A and B are shown apart, each in its own frame.
Chain A
């Protein structure tokens, strides 16, 4: 690996002395209540205040801020999706990322180190190339790499033709990369709080007050709170909330596992995904390898999955990246992802007036955090779907106009 210069990783800078007020007592009423203080909920509140001047907002979180998928994901950011609708919302999100730290005023370790998606068979190459050309016409930056070019960018990739599923090429989005999830969430939280948003942790929504099909507020373990508008941004728990509100959502909550290694000298300075062999990996700023795989097959809210999924993923990793053979798995964890039938999000109005939904981001929510918050804020503020969000309305499942991103999801499920 002569072509590879190994870097020592650095300590992260300190967080600010003050982040947000704790132990807030909820007011009797708010203009807008956001359910869920995950990345998307925090971003929604932030853009409600910043873009629409709506600051009489409460974010209700049953646990601790950013303690769901936002706190337990592999932080990959990219916008090289297949369909035009996806290119619209994900690339909007990526453009927001590109100025986010400055705008929010918080270090987020947003690093555009590129995202590589490997192809391992003739048909795999065909579908990845289609993705590449789709990105081209949508003006989403993307290049096609030969195995040799892959080796240039990521010397640790095994491009030998003798491995079980040889690397035959890859799409590469140079603008893609990673960010540090807690820092992103805390940046949004601090900025929102600074603009007057109440972040109320340990406050669980137990029901909705609905009169004549119109939302009046929510019931919580800390009493009823009235609200003109309510946004559900609860990822894996969306189905539970929708049940309370009396409508169906086509979502299934599944475990998604990830793992990290110990701190290692830098050997990988891009993000590599391989749907065919079910592994994706990046090396974080401090030097740990961060890896994810496919979701477990069954519904679960337990935040844990089967160990065989992890074993399969590490076997695949050793084949693709022989240098990882001696790396150690230090910690595994599971998140709860809300999977929609077409692997695309569900954003917009619900059968209940002034109750809005943003869910179904499945395995790919982190990259969309700013974009999702942006369109959700606009949708709530205007009472009608933002133009980028329109295609993602619930009614697409009735009309059949699905946006099938299974092929383009991080791992083909």
Chain B
């Protein structure tokens, strides 16, 4: 319950934050929903926390040049309820609504969740399906990586010491696109046993675009490429959903815990994948 001692800094600007992080011994604190519980269990013991929660220009949701830019400290609650996202990138709102519980959604941030890279967190599935970009701020300026490249492994990203996730960029979705985030919840922790995010676009009754991101299943979130390919150019019917769903877990070395073995996890991914595809198809115009 009681953390180790640490020092605390609360910069007002991103530049100041980057300066504070430059010595490498500090850790970024955003909403703290992952970090603080770990510190309370003494599994994490940073020497210094740099609280970026008050940096005003990290909290925004805005549309620019055909894309939606999301500041790192935007909370899950903000994402869940943003009218802009709800109309132009509803997959992300739907995903945010599945995270934790109302109190966690009030405090937890997009940037914090993404940087923590929990293999059972919700966003990675959607950010992969959305082909999102991550803008990383560092001492020598910003760099942008695709979200797929951002996640390296369980709890591991390309973030270097001293860097901060500045923003996430997601595309403006065509209003005719179908989407779905389907999640099997671990009943104790609320994390995803499996989470599947879908974006589908139909053209003339055939599937013109399909993006599927999967979280919770493996050591890191991934794109279900085989399932996407199976959908592409196929007809938008329930059989297609089932066939493609069956491919979602192909070749996956699945995780296990008290609630789901690897085999069952893979099975859930297939079943819920098919269900997610069916929902997304029904939403697509």
Instruction: Say whether A associates with B.
Output: no
